Amino acid sequence: MRNIRLILAYDGTRYRGWQRLAGADNTIQGKLEQTISRLLAEPVQVHGSGRTDAGVHALGQVANFHCQSAMPCPQILAGLGQYLPEDIGVLSCQEVHPRFHARLNALSKTYLYRVWNSTEPCVFQRRYVYRMPEALDTAAMEQAAAHLLGKHDFRAFSTGKSGKKSTLRTIYRLEIFREGPEVRFLVQGDGFLYNMVRIMVGTLLEAGLGRKQDIPEIFAAGRREAAGYTVPASGLFLQEVTYP
How many Å apart are CA 123 and CA 108, to the nearest integer? 33
Smallest distance from its own copies to CB 42, Å = 24
Q: One of 11, 25, 53, 190 is an active-site residue; which one?
A: 53
Minimum CB separation from its own copies for residue 159, in Å? Answer: 27
11 counts as catalytic: no
Q: Which of positions 93-152 make contact with its own copies (CB under 8 A)?
A: 119-124, 126, 128
Q: How far is the CB of 9 from its own copies (least distance, A)?
A: 5
Amino acid letter at 226?
Answer: A
Q: Count other C-beta atoms under 10 Å from residue 190's C-beta.
A: 15
How far is the C-alpha of 8 from the C-alpha of 239, rounded, in Å? 10
- 39 conformational bin, left if phi > 0, alpha if psi -120 to 50, beta if neither: alpha
Q: Which of 43, 81, 150, 210: binder of its own copies (CB under 8 A)? A: 81
Q: Which stretch binds its own copies (CB under 8 A): 8-16, 107-115, 140-148, 222-230?
A: 8-16
Residues contacting 220, CB < 8 A, separation 6+: none
Strands 182-189, 168-179: pairing is: antiparallel
Q: Which stretch binds its own copies (CB under 8 A): 42-50, 84-92, 168-176, 199-207?
A: 84-92
Q: Which residues are catalytic?
A: 53
Q: Give residues in contact with its own copies (CB under 8 A).
A: 9-11, 57, 78, 81, 86-91, 119-124, 126, 128
